[in-house]
Amino acid sequence: MTSDAPARRDPVVLTTEGRGWIEARLERSTERRDRIDEELGNERTEELIAERAQLDTQIQDLTALLRDAVAPADIIDDPSVIEIGDEVEVEFPDGDRETFLIVHPVEAGMDDHRTSSDSPVASAVLGQRAGDTVTFTTPSGEHRCTIVGRDRIG
């Protein structure tokens, strides 16, 4: 039996820094599109037309993302459960510790500290609590870590 109701989608969660980064990216894309519009007034090439179409799509996508995104602090939740927007510290069996900020995939490339929520380690710790031990698989094999703590960044 199928439902006519629209599928429920979880909101996109963006950190404050991620929102700023995407706003800057949107501004650069808009400026580039405006320059292409000027160039198209002088010369119409397939490359310029294709780039403008690509930029239009990117601008629409980024605008919708910014419009619909929420901050981590806007999510009403169990504060002990790890979610997007949390900085998480984990410890591996050899005693090494790693701290990373779990973010939406769109802002994962901002710096080395941010980890996409789609990554194996982030997927493993999402929904867990400090003290839990999780197992995840990467191309190099299976790994295990214990969650030491979490902090909501926002």
What confidence score (pLDDT) does residue 8 get?
43
Q: What is the pLDDT of residue 9?
A: 55
- The pLDDT value recorded for residue 73 is 78
Instruction: Find all residues with CB under 8 Å of 4, minimum gap 6, and list them.
Output: none
Strands (E), 42-119: 86-91, 97-103, 114-116
Q: 72-96: per-residue pLDDT in tens?
A: 877 767 778 999 889 999 999 999 9
Q: Tell me the C-alpha distance between 133 and 110, whole Å.
A: 28
If you search the block for the tokens 């090494």, which residue do you land on? Answer: 96
Residues 6+ apart with CB under 8 A from 87: 99, 100, 101, 102, 150, 151, 152, 153
pLDDT in tens, the chain (154 residues): 444 544 445 678 888 889 999 999 999 999 999 999 998 888 888 999 999 999 999 999 999 999 999 888 777 677 789 998 899 999 999 999 999 999 989 888 888 889 999 999 999 999 999 999 999 999 999 999 999 999 887 5
* Contact call for residues 33 and 10 (beta carbons, < 8 A): no
Reported pTM = 0.74
pLDDT at 130: 95
Q: Name residue 98's beta-bridge partners.
A: 90
